[in-house]
Structure 1
Amino acid sequence: MWGFVHNLDPILIPHLKRSFSLNNLQSSLVDSSVFIAYLLMAIPAGILVKNYGYKSGIITGLLLFALGSFLFIPAADTGQYLFFLGALFIIACGLTILETVANPYVSLLGDPATATRRLNFAQSFNGLAATMAPIIGARIILTEGSTDEELSAMTESARQLSLAAEASSVKTPYLILGSLILAIAIIFYIIRLPEIEQNEEEGESKNVFHALRHKHLSWAVAAQFFYVGAQVCIFSFFILYAVEVAQIDKVVAADYLGWGCGLAFMIGRFIGVFFMRFIQSERLLAIYSVLCILLCLPAIFMQGHIAIYSVIGIAFFMSIMFPTIFSLGIKGLGKDTEYGSSLIVMAIVGGAVLPLIFGYIADLTGSLQFGHIVSLICFVVILAFALKGHKIVKNEIFNG
């Protein structure tokens, strides 16, 4: 469900860009309002889990998720871009808590040797959301009441009314989404979940800075920052990118996003889980990083459907990156696991920062293609983590 709402953002960006006459940089604030929450809420989420447990964290995250979804209704009624950004921020606060809780919970519930494979499997269903959200969302949200020619012929007041009516198309999907999430929160309140018991010999984690003394965790934080930035740049700008490079309709572009990027992302996750039975997760991460770097080149320099297929290929090979980086980052942290999880979730703020740079480069050069230089740099950093940064070295914790 939180994969579904994340993958509605690429639909919201072109929709709100048109409704509020935004440029690429301004429209990228949709991502910034979402991912800045990960920076602000990750540490409080970790404290919540340590003090009240995983179940309480899940329920709190779901309730905030539902609240933000319901706030889309008054946001549409006011017709103010800032209110949409505020509603997205509230949703993201809930998602931050869910990410902080669910990822280590899945990793810790079972054999540590298969934690990375288990987390990849659980997150494979995020790929299902990445497939369905653009296809469903485009047909509900990307409903243009008037063509650009008709809008240009209207008076300013009539034009504003027409665009405001289009902006209101978000009410129904977010009302349904909020209702479903509220129902799920009630279910989680009722059911019993096993709590993770901390080994008494490990003691208590001192603070978040103590967790950062693990070198491989610091590398994982950096790698996750760049990974999420790359994923958001690729998915969020895909519709605008596909329209530019192949001159196709936005709804057709949304289908490429769903059946192309989303389906590739989901299949890539399941295939990655299978490969991890035979290939070490860090080695597979390195191989996939190299392939993503190579695919960035046609995405930047080629036109037409070849460029689109290159980006779809990137979606396939980046599929395993988030859960693999996460699992490798919290491996061996022991008493620092909760804070380590919070730090890696904080790194998701890369989704707020790097799309701004992507949008700025696109506006500066007049082409969204050159924005994928940002994506290429991100995969280089992830490759460095896969080759070296993930390694746990004995006595790696700095003195102090």
Structure 2
Amino acid sequence: MAASAYIPSPSPTDEATGPQPSYTSALASLTVLFFVFGFITCLNDILIPFMKAIFGLSYTQANLINLCFFGAYFIMGIPAGILVKRLGYKQGMLAGFLIGAGGCFLFYPAAASRSYPIFLGALFVLATGVVLLQVSGNPYVAVLGPPRTASARLTLTQAFNSLGTTVAPLLGSALILSHLPDLSTAAANAAAHIDVRAVQVPYLAIGGILLVLSGLLALLKLPRMQSASTQVPEPGRHAWHYQNLVLGMIGIFAYVGAEVAIGSHLVSYLGLPEVAGLSPKLAGDKVAYYWGGAMVGRFVGAYLLSRFRPTRLLVLAAAGAIVLILISISTHHAVSMYSLLAVGLMNSIMFATIFTLAVAGLGWHTEEASGLLNVAIVGGALVPLLFGKVADLSSLHWALLLPVVCYAYIIWYGMRGYEPRMASYYQPEVPVQVPITGL
């Protein structure tokens, strides 16, 4: 089945109006946006071992970084969706850049005071800006062109997001983790001598770049897309009345949770003697392989999703992730290390595919659905926190079984859960029909 089976097809009247306008320049400018919030998000993987060393945190305590960052999606996702619906996509992106810059600047006093709570507060502000960028950018890309290629288009822009997540560990390990001592031999009081400027300078630079990008975006003339559909909403119906969206929210929760849980603990995992025994700096460099695999997979996936059934590719990717994790758990040294790093390749197409399947047929409710799906990104806060708790009680190897459960759900969603239909708990006053064709 072609990708058009999952996305509402253009109406005959649309086709009769002649060739579709070209949005190439707009999509090209949006790749910068996706690169930026990919870079910012992935720096958390570098911050976690750095903060763990400075404050002597357990795995559970260190994962409060993910809780504050991705918790912003849960708290701010719906308000961000409402704001974008009122202001428009471009103004939403502008607000995201400015708020994100403010969060970056707060890292300076947080580092100067060596206060973990202030660090977490700065992360929440920064994440609020990223939420606005996500809520604005994802649906904008989805509607910026033919519906049948929405999955491929979003996967392509997500590939530039992965470019940011690939570059971030390399720069982060060079600028931040290089200031950490060898944690296996460090003295108990070594944390007091760690140079906090390793965090201050990079985030001040990022904040400045975000301000520059906001200025450039303000000057750009992007196509004005009012909504994903011109349909008039029916009274009493909301986005959450669509079963494919509700189950898709769980899918996004599981995917982001699994991806972040693995990525956030790679430095610690690769430092284990039975895995690779790497120093924080060398392990941080290896994290780039994890996110680099996602980048390569998204560039390839942009082509595959325009040629093959998205649900089938989603199932194969999730199954591949499970196999690779189980190999890593049951082996040692190079095989254990590289099999877990290869999970990044399997993650590549998951977000864009789940996202477009979840909003299929929602029409006028697409922006509302985008906000709800971004709320589901709170999986990046809760799953790693549970992962850290399991690791504290047992080991990182046992904790890796938690992402296996997440990927198992994604397999089910790609087989059955994606099917567009009204949720069983929705009882309309008049009969309604799900606005989707081609199934």
TM-score range, shorter chain: over 0.9
Q: How does 1:199-238 map to 2 (within 5 A)?
A: 202-204=231-233, 210-238=238-266
Query: Which amino acid counterpart does residue 114 of structure 1 have in structure 2?
Result: T
More deviation, 349-358/270-279: 270-279
1:31/1:200 Cα in 2 relative to 1: closer, same or farther (>3 Å)? closer
3-state DSSP class of the match of 2:169? Answer: helix
Q: Which of residues 173, 179, 184 in structure 1 aligns to 2:202?
A: 173
Q: Which residue of 2 aligns with 1:41?
A: 76
Q: How does 1:133-152 map to 2 (within 5 A)?
A: 133-144=168-179, 151-152=187-188
Alignment partner of 1:127 is 2:157: no
Distance 1:362 1:199 in 2: 43
| C-alpha displacement of 1:398 | 2.4
More deviation, 33-42/308-317: 308-317
Q: How does 1:25-40 map to 2 (within 5 A)?
A: 25-40=60-75
Structure 2's unaligned 5+ residue stretches are: 1-35, 429-439
Q: Which residue of 1 aligns with 2:285?
A: 255
Q: Which residue of 2 aligns with 1:378?
A: 406
Distance 2:90 2:222 in 1: 7
| C-alpha displacement of 1:368 | 0.9
Distance 1:139 1:280 in 2: 41
Q: Which of residues 286, 310, 316 in structure 2 aligns to 1:287?
A: 316
| C-alpha displacement of 1:278 | 2.3
More deviation, 245-254/112-121: 245-254
Q: Which of residues 394, 397, 406 in structure 2 aligns to 1:369?
A: 397
Q: How does 1:1-400 map to 2 (within 5 A)?
A: 1-144=36-179, 151-152=187-188, 159=190, 161-163=192-194, 166-198=195-227, 202-204=231-233, 210-244=238-272, 245-258=275-288, 260-365=289-394, 367-393=395-421, 398-400=426-428
1:362/1:88 Cα in 2 relative to 1: closer, same or farther (>3 Å)? same
Query: Which amino acid counterpart does residue 396 of structure 2 have in structure 1?
Result: L
| C-alpha displacement of 1:131 | 1.3
Query: Which amino acid counterpart does residue 82 of structure 1 have in structure 2?
Result: P
Query: Which amino acid counterpart does residue 82 of structure 2 have in structure 1?
Result: I
CA contact (8 A) 1:146 1:162 kept: no
CA contact (8 A) 2:241 2:422 kept: no
| C-alpha displacement of 1:144 | 3.2
Q: More helix per residue: 1 or 2?
A: 1
Distance 2:93 2:235 in 1: 24
CA contact (8 A) 2:318 2:346 kept: yes
CA contact (8 A) 2:242 2:422 kept: no
Query: Which amino acid counterpart does residue 249 of structure 1 have in structure 2?
Result: S
Per the normalisation by structure 1, the TM-score is 0.93
Distance 1:390 1:241 in 2: 34
Structure 1's unaligned 5+ residue stretches are: none
Aligned length: 390
3-state DSSP class of the match of 1:399? Answer: coil
Per the normalisation by structure 2, the TM-score is 0.85
Distance 2:372 2:263 in 1: 24
| C-alpha displacement of 1:287 | 0.9
CA contact (8 A) 1:145 1:162 kept: no
Distance 1:268 1:257 in 2: 16
CA contact (8 A) 1:16 1:167 kept: no
| C-alpha displacement of 1:393 | 3.5
Distance 1:187 1:112 in 2: 28
More deviation, 193-202/178-187: 193-202
Per-residue CA deviation, residues 126-160 of structure 1 (Å, 9 max, x unaligned), is: 111121111111011013365665633x6xxxx56
Query: Which amino acid counterpart does residue 255 of structure 2 have in structure 1?
Result: Y
Give RMSD over aligned pairs: 1.9
Distance 2:378 2:128 in 1: 12
Q: Which residue of 1 aligns with 2:7?
A: none
| C-alpha displacement of 1:198 | 4.1
| C-alpha displacement of 1:308 | 1.3
CA contact (8 A) 2:229 2:363 kept: no
